[in-house]
Structure 1
Amino acid sequence: MTSGGPKRLRLAKMGRSDGSTGATSHRHHSRGKNVASEKNRAWKSRLALSADRQTFLLAAIGAVLLWMALPPLDVAPLAWVGPCFWCALIGRSQPLKTREYLILAGVGFAFWMAALHWLRLPHWATSFGWVALSFYLAWYLPCFIGFSRIAVHLCRIPIPAAAATIWAGLEVARAHLLTGFTMASLAHTQYRWLSLIQVADLVGTYGVGWVMILVSGCLYLAAQRMAEFHRAGAYQRSNEVSSDAISAKKLTRYVLAAGRPLMAAGVVLGAVVVYGHYRLVVHAATPQTSTVRVALIQGSQDIRLEDGEEKRERIHRHYLELAFLAARQYRDLDLMVWPETVYGGLLIDADSHPAVPPEWRAKGKTDHEFVDQLVAAKRSSQAAMERLASQLASRLILGVETVAYTGSGIRYYNSAAFVGKCSTDEVFPKSANGGATNRRDSISVSPGASEGATHHSSETKGYCYLGRYDKMHLVMFGEYVPFADEFPPMRYLTPLSTNTTPGKVPKAFSVRGVRFCPNICFESVIPHLIRQQILELRKHGTEPDVLVNLTNDGWFWGSSELDMHLICGVFRAVETRKPFLIAANTGFSAVIDATGRILSQGPRRDVAILVTEVGKSDFHSWYLDYGIIPNTIFVSAVVLVVAVEILLRAIDRFWKRLPKSKGTTRQG
């Protein structure tokens, strides 16, 4: 009894001691766990990005990937991935603040500065245009994100459809506003994927961009739902199902969550590619008739604005050598095409009653003497072209500068002059500017002025200057200064000495029954311009069979501008379903068929002579006839989304002004 009592007491004390020790240990463990969780939360908070940083990171990654997909890197698959990061900003539940939209504009500005770096090359003053254009284009990214968020969060439109439609609408707007600019479009990254871009004959280049953004939006949705699925971790925490059941459940959730947008993307992309294959097969089975053999002359002469007459003469001699080389190497050429403004002589033209310059009268000379001298200069400039065609034994389309004496003064044009066979070739429409045929001068002359006017007829061997096309869509600050006539000091903003005057009508040059429609320089960048020119000629019953672009990209010193300009020609060929020929100084001259396939291409900053045969074809384009429909739909969608936002904001302000009323908040 006595000995067992102390023992039990000691055991009881030990039990109490062990119990208190266990409780103390539990408290220490809980405290340690809390400390660990606090450290974990602090670590996560350090990793978590602020809204501003998240916006910048997502926007910048998308912009970098798109830049890499464009020339000069040309990694085309990245163009499908880049917009996914922008879709993440569109789908974000928290509203974007004004500061974040400014961040988006900053990212857009950096993207365009990098993409259009070649604008600084022609002259130091063009750097101002580089910055100004990049600043203007920068705002399309925040507009895309903001308008898409309105469509998604207010109109409840799925991200892929909303983002794709807003993107296409903004690209249509970009092609029209401030004279228009479509270089570095999203669709341009895919110019080598012929089966994809064939859909441009239905919905234009903008429609190809619509497809790409739709697919990117679907990829984003699939990735987002898979991320949510993994974060949930419901299957790992389940103890009531077997591993086989877990796998089946995972697979089912994966198919339902991620499979739907992927299937939607696959259906749309598959339909577009199947259509593209069909159109390629149709084109292959469509024969060309009345083919014409054409030589595209590509020289390599870099250009600067400060170049003088000596450089002009050197360029002319350079192209003369190449043209005579082509005539020797390739027999039976029907047509030679020289690039923009490389022909050294000026083409002189005049109205029926040209204004006499005051300095002429100041010399004491009569108006008749001025007109006589003008007629002689006009016929001399035409005769020089005719002699050249005779020596080359080929018709010519020459890039030339035109000086026209009109009733309101002297006008300067950037022209494509056509020298053809006097008896068979024609220029349409005949009543247009520059369309007066050779030997039929509209200005009245004195009797003695006609002497010697036909002395060169035996030298031309049947070749006549038949007319010209004047460039209709001019480059702002590159060919003209806006409002310079009303405010002459505006001219000092650029190194331009004169303003170029825009042409009024398109022209078609007929060569053995095949009609060639010229366009000059960046006119090929504007889809609706080329489409309208063809439709205008169709009204006169002279729809062209072949499009030909005369360009002088020597201003850009072999940069990625050459690639971007070439790609525009690829899409104009598909949209119109007409062969597209390019004669470019320093490159890239190219022969592009009606499917956008580049059959031959000149080198970068080197000489080349590209010879091809083109003719008539019955390959038809729906976009050429009805392209205004998809363009209007895309733009209308953007306008509608903006109108919805404005209306809802007005309703919010109205309800907030009412006494004792509670306004509802919306996401923006």
Structure 2
Amino acid sequence: MPSETLSPALSRWSPLWAMLAGATAVLSFAPLTWWPVQIASLAVLLWLAVAQTAVRRSALVGWSFSFGWMVAGTHWLYTSLHDYGGLPGPMAIAAVLLLSAAMALYAGMAMAAGTWLRLRCALSPAATLLLVYPPLWAISEWLRNWVATGFPWIVSGYAHVSSPLAGYAPLVGVYGIGWLAALLAACAVLAFAGRRRLALALGAAVMVAGLALDQLAWTSPHGRPISVRLLQGNVPQEMKFNPDTANDTLALYHDMLTEARADLIATPETALPMMAHALPPDYLELLATFARQSKSNLLVGVPVSDGPGSYANSLLGLGMDGARNYRYDKHHLVPFGEFIPPGFRWFVDMMHIPLGDFTRGAVVQAPFSAAGQWVLPNICYEDLFGEEIADQIAASYFSGRPQPTMMLNVSNIAWFGDSIALPQHLQISQMRSLETRRPMLRATNTGATAIVDARGRVQAQLQPYTKDVLSGQVQGMSGYTPYILLGNVPVLTAAVLLLGAIWLRRREQKS
């Protein structure tokens, strides 16, 4: 079995092999999307972890795997910290490494807890691989989602937006898919350890069930398709908040907004690079006039001040009646970029990031009406938090509010340069569509501006780093998937119950 397959030399270097396997896992995410690579890399992690005889050693293996994964997958943070934030190069590198090291603690704890439970309960390697490590892996990724505001970038489930596991998304969400990916990895380990029949049967059952679930509709068309125009201004980040070029940016987006009508026209996040009250007096009125005369509905990204020291990262809606009748404020803020954690003012003061301490919006906010459809906005980083988006949709089920029929993400991730962050963020939006079975529209400054359908498929996309407009027809969807109504509760409950049952069974055997 796996615990007997490591030579002393291989065991000694197992943290290094784990780190290399973790770094390789980034190939499973966008832009390459080689999802089988992730199963293989997780299989290496589980093989190395189950072969350890010490809890601390398993923790080191798990931490090393996740550290390699996080550094390879989020190295682009250096660009925002150094190139645009003005942080000295060595400090920017240190910040990326420290963040990766901190995020890797969750995987380290998962592998340590699995080995501790195996030793404490005298579990076989096969039982540990199938019943212990996968639920612990899911819990560890969920913890990374919310502890200290969370940083759930490239969690394992995102690699499977186009794999057979995608069919599980409306049921168990991205963290449930992570559990299943770890289960498939466990099957791979067992297949190479002599338990081929069991491994192949279980792995095939998981994959076939995913393909079958993907055929279920879950939601149904709502109303008629609407026309959309998604603007990509491609304003260089170093110029975006430069006062000398602000008027050029305002003119750019005015022209793009009023170039043609559509049922819904959306700009990127903070497309207008000054407070709403500081805009030229007639700027928004001219847009409102266009909306009324062309029978269009506009969502415009602009920071809004509600008083001294209080400002929100907002979307203002201008409807067909020409009135300023809608506002959405970003709720889930980015640490350091949009709010300053206690004790870190010194770190933020070293950088040159504008508008660094926003006010949070309400947890649940109303959708925007557009030609019979109800558009649920989220701004940039917010679409990483699937349960929060699900809660916004579920609010209509429990309160009678209008039911969102499509989602809109507006972003400006020019902060990260021409990097893998752009396609990774698109992949995250695809998962939100899979979980909710609703289309996701994306209007971004530099990319990826795209239309994603209710099954998570990219229907149209602009070339990144070009000034352009994406036009298309989008069909809204209504209905509630299990994930919308229950979120991550079923996955977390199942994980706790399974691990608790293993622990209680061992105690009963000893008594």
Q: 170, 174, 180: which is aligned to 1:201?
A: 170
Distance 1:639 1:261 in 2: 21
One-letter amino acid of the counterpart of residue 296, structure 2:
S
Name the counterpart of 1:553.
Answer: 413
Distance 2:240 2:288 in 1: 30
Distance 1:323 1:338 in 2: 8
Name the counterpart of 2:145.
Answer: 175
- Report how many residues are paired: 486
Assess, with a 3 A threshold, how the Cα gap between structure 1 residues 543 and 380 changes in structure 2: closer, same or farther. Answer: same
Name the counterpart of 1:604.
Answer: 464
Q: Does 1:333 align with 2:262?
A: yes
Distance 1:161 1:100 in 2: 17
Assess, with a 3 A threshold, how the Cα gap between structure 1 residues 382 and 305 changes in structure 2: closer, same or farther. Answer: closer
Q: Which runs of 5+ in 1 are unaligned?
A: 1-46, 226-256, 349-373, 423-462, 649-663
Q: Does 1:584 align with 2:444?
A: yes
Distance 1:473 1:404 in 2: 18
CA drift at 1:594? 1.3
Assess, with a 3 A threshold, how the Cα gap between structure 1 residues 643 and 520 changes in structure 2: closer, same or farther. Answer: farther
- Report the secondary structure of 1:199's partner residue: helix
Distance 2:93 2:311 in 1: 25
Distance 2:37 2:101 in 1: 24
Assess, with a 3 A threshold, how the Cα gap between structure 1 residues 90 and 54 changes in structure 2: closer, same or farther. Answer: closer
Distance 1:264 1:138 in 2: 29
Q: Does 1:110 align with 2:80?
A: no
Distance 1:491 1:212 in 2: 38
Name the counterpart of 1:417.
Answer: 316
CA drift at 1:592? 1.1
One-letter amino acid of the counterpart of residue 519, structure 1:
N
Q: 486, 493, 496: which is aligned to 1:633?
A: 493
One-letter amino acid of the counterpart of residue 64, structure 1:
A
Distance 2:280 2:248 in 1: 23
Distance 1:623 1:267 in 2: 22
Assess, with a 3 A threshold, how the Cα gap between structure 1 residues 178 and 90 changes in structure 2: closer, same or farther. Answer: same
Would you say the 8 A contact 2:25–2:38 is kept in 1? yes
Distance 1:497 1:68 in 2: 33
Q: Does 1:544 align with 2:404?
A: yes
For normalisation by structure 2, the TM-score amounts to 0.86
Distance 2:241 2:59 in 1: 43
Name the counterpart of 2:104.
Answer: 138
CA drift at 1:411? 0.8
Distance 2:80 2:502 in 1: 39
1:98-247 counterparts in 2 under 5 A? 98=56, 101-102=59-60, 104-124=62-82, 125=87, 129-155=95-121, 156=123, 157-193=127-163, 195-225=164-194
Name the counterpart of 2:4.
Answer: none
Q: Which runs of 5+ in 2 are unaligned?
A: 1-6
Q: Does 1:525 align with 2:384?
A: yes
Name the counterpart of 1:395.
Answer: 297
- Report the secondary structure of 2:13's partner residue: helix
Q: Which has the larger radius of gyration?
A: 1
- Report the secondary structure of 1:181's partner residue: coil
CA offsets 1:531-558 (integer angstroms, 9 cap, x no match): 1222234424222111111111211222
Distance 1:344 1:65 in 2: 39
Assess, with a 3 A threshold, how the Cα gap between structure 1 residues 289 and 318 changes in structure 2: closer, same or farther. Answer: same
Distance 1:316 1:117 in 2: 32
CA offsets 1:307-349 (integer angstroms, 9 cap, x no match): 4212333333333343344x1xxxx52121101001245323x
Distance 1:312 1:292 in 2: 32
1:642-653 counterparts in 2 under 5 A? none
CA offsets 1:140-185 (integer angstroms, 9 cap, x no match): 2322321222344434334123221111111111111121222212
Would you say the 8 A contact 1:151–1:641 is kept in 2? no
Name the counterpart of 2:332.
Answer: 473
CA drift at 1:76? 2.3
CA offsets 1:358-397 (integer angstroms, 9 cap, x no match): xxxxxxxxxxxxxxxx9xx898564254245357662210
**Percent identity of the aligned residues?**
24
Name the counterpart of 2:13.
Answer: 53
Would you say the 8 A contact 2:55–2:115 is kept in 1? no
CA offsets 1:483-528 (integer angstroms, 9 cap, x no match): 37xx966752543454111112422111233111111011001111
Q: CA RMSD in A?
A: 3.1
- Report the secondary structure of 1:503's partner residue: coil
Assess, with a 3 A threshold, how the Cα gap between structure 1 residues 631 and 389 changes in structure 2: closer, same or farther. Answer: same
Q: Does 1:502 align with 2:431?
A: no
Would you say the 8 A contact 2:298–2:318 is kept in 1? yes
- Report the secondary structure of 2:311's partner residue: strand
CA drift at 1:420? 0.3
- Report the secondary structure of 2:199's partner residue: helix
Distance 2:135 2:434 in 1: 21
One-letter amino acid of the counterpart of residue 265, structure 1:
G
Would you say the 8 A contact 1:483–1:490 is kept in 2? no
Q: Does 1:574 align with 2:434?
A: yes
Distance 1:392 1:557 in 2: 36
Assess, with a 3 A threshold, how the Cα gap between structure 1 residues 103 and 162 changes in structure 2: closer, same or farther. Answer: closer
Would you say the 8 A contact 1:89–1:145 is kept in 2? no
One-letter amino acid of the counterpart of residue 270, structure 2:
T
CA drift at 1:580? 0.9
- Report the secondary structure of 1:543's partner residue: coil
Name the counterpart of 2:285.
Answer: 383
Assess, with a 3 A threshold, how the Cα gap between structure 1 residues 345 and 306 changes in structure 2: closer, same or farther. Answer: closer
- Report the secondary structure of 1:558's partner residue: coil
Assess, with a 3 A threshold, how the Cα gap between structure 1 residues 213 and 639 changes in structure 2: closer, same or farther. Answer: closer
Q: Does 1:279 align with 2:248?
A: no
Distance 2:136 2:197 in 1: 25
